[in-house]
Structure 1
Amino acid sequence: MKTSSVLAAALLLAAPLTAAAQHSHTPGTAAHGHKAAGETHAHASPHGGVVRTAGQYHLELVQQAGQLQVYLLDGNEKTLPVTRATGTALLLSAAGKTSSVKLLPTGNHLGATVPAGFTLRTAIVSVKANGNSLSARFEKLEAAAKAGKSVSAAYACPMSCPGSVSAKPGSCPKCGMALVKKS
């Protein structure tokens, strides 16, 4: 096993679980404030993903068509701009492989491409936004994907721009072309 793989696996295991608790999500639930990271309570999931508390913010992870989308949300689950945000995601596959991907601003979220053939089990997302360093651990993602918690990606950019997949028609946040319906 390569040293980088061992290090990545160790980071996945050692990442603090107290930073935030994974919550059940019921679309349309009432907004609320947070007093401490890791509180257990329901969150709205505005984009159909998994929401985690990250300090005074929330991070929402959405998987769709080989893409990861990370949304920065305020305490009321409203999407915040990510134009100056940066981030990385450390990924662990169901087969025990690790990969690190850079999250780039794409429209109203940060996006990255999941390596081909990678069945995502765990993601540790680290984001720098609005002068804050935020992180959250998302687990059991293969079960969430099988359960249909991800938004179906019915539209994509004809130029295959990263982060362009969408559940509804619109324009590509990267190149501006009209999204086309996937067959």
Structure 2
Amino acid sequence: MKFVRSLLAITLLAAPLSLFAQHTHQARAAHSHNAAGETHAHTAPHGGIVRTAGKYHVELVLAGSQMTVYLLDGNEQTLATKGLTGTAMVLQGGKTASVPLAPYGDNQLRGALPAGATPTTAIITLRRGGETISARFDKLASTSAKAKATSYICPMQCEGSASSKPGACPKCGMALVKKA
């Protein structure tokens, strides 16, 4: 009984960590490491940042003043945006702004970031029917700089192949290709 209570206490303490674990990934690159609170590795199908959000995953892609959000299922497959609405609370330069996210195509939501510095934090809230899906993305300024620095990757998506300059994959030897 004491063991069961200890296990329950550990589970309850660890649960909030899984809600706020953050990952930065290369496009379609699977990583073997897990962030705190995660029980599995993630892929980033669109080259963004993937966060766990209950039974879903949310991927955030920042490009200039454009914010693109994808809702992914438990297998990191992109879900359709039909019936999906969303907003992003963005912290930028010490100020908070609300960014409405509108459907764009069949599988993404887009919003225009306020003019100025790169956002440092974004809280994405999506609604589908009566369901609310939320994910928090921290340290976005440093994540964007790191993503820009890594512009070449192995076409076989080998782990550890990302590079800031052309060359050969250290695992399979194939020529690195420029990320799209």
**Shorter-normalised TM range:** 0.5 to 0.7
- Residue 92 of structure 1 and its aligned partner are, at CA, apart by 0.3
Higher helix share: 2
Provide the TM-score with structure 2 as the length reference: 0.64
Name the structure 2 match of 1:112. Answer: 111
5 Å-filtered alignment, 1:83-102, equals: 83-93=82-92, 95-102=93-100
Structure 1 distance, partners of 2:115, 2:47, is 23
- Give the total of aligned pairs: 130
1:69-91 residue CA offsets vs partner (Å, 9 max, x unmatched): 00000011110001210011000
Aligned sequence identity (%): 53
The residue that corresponds to 1:28 in the other structure is: 29
What is residue 44 of structure 1 aligned with on the other side? 43
User: How far did 1:41 drift?
Assistant: 3.9
Residue 123 (structure 2) aligns with: 124
5+ residue gaps, structure 2, are: 1-15, 32-36, 152-180
Distance in 1, matches of 2:17 and 2:95, equals 20
Alignment of 1:1-183 (within 5 A): 19-25=19-25, 27-29=28-30, 38-39=37-38, 41-93=40-92, 95-107=93-105, 108-129=107-128, 131-148=130-147
Partner secondary structure for residue 142 of structure 2:
helix
Q: Residues 84 and 129 of structure 1 are in contact (CA less than 8 Å); yes or no, is this contact kept in structure 2?
A: yes
Structure 1: state its 5+ residue gaps. 1-15, 31-37, 153-183
RMSD over equivalenced CA pairs, Å: 2.6
Q: Return the alpha-carbon distance in structure 1 between the equivalents of residues 150 and 91 of structure 2.
A: 21
For residues 30-56 of structure 1, the C-alpha deviation after alignment (integer angstroms, 9 at most, x for no partner) is 8xxxxxxx5254210000000001111
Q: What SS does structure 1 have at the residue aligned with 2:141?
A: helix
* DSSP 3-state at the match of 1:58: strand
Cα distance change on mapping 1:106 and 1:124 into 2, 3 Å: same
Tell me how far apart the structure 1 counterparts of residues 149 and 123 of structure 2 sit (CA, whole Å).
18
TM-score by length of 1: 0.63
Higher relative contact order (Cα pairs below 8 Å, separated by 6+ residues):
1
Q: Specify the code of the residue in structure 1 equivalent to 2:144.
A: A
Q: CA deviation at 1:117?
A: 1.2
Cα distance, 1:137 vs. partner?
0.3
CA contact (8 A) 1:92 1:120 kept: yes
Distance 1:103 1:25 in 2: 23
Q: Kindly provide the CA deviation profile for residues 117-152 of structure 1, in whole angstroms up to 9, marking residues without a partner as x.
A: 132100000001254210000000001111126999
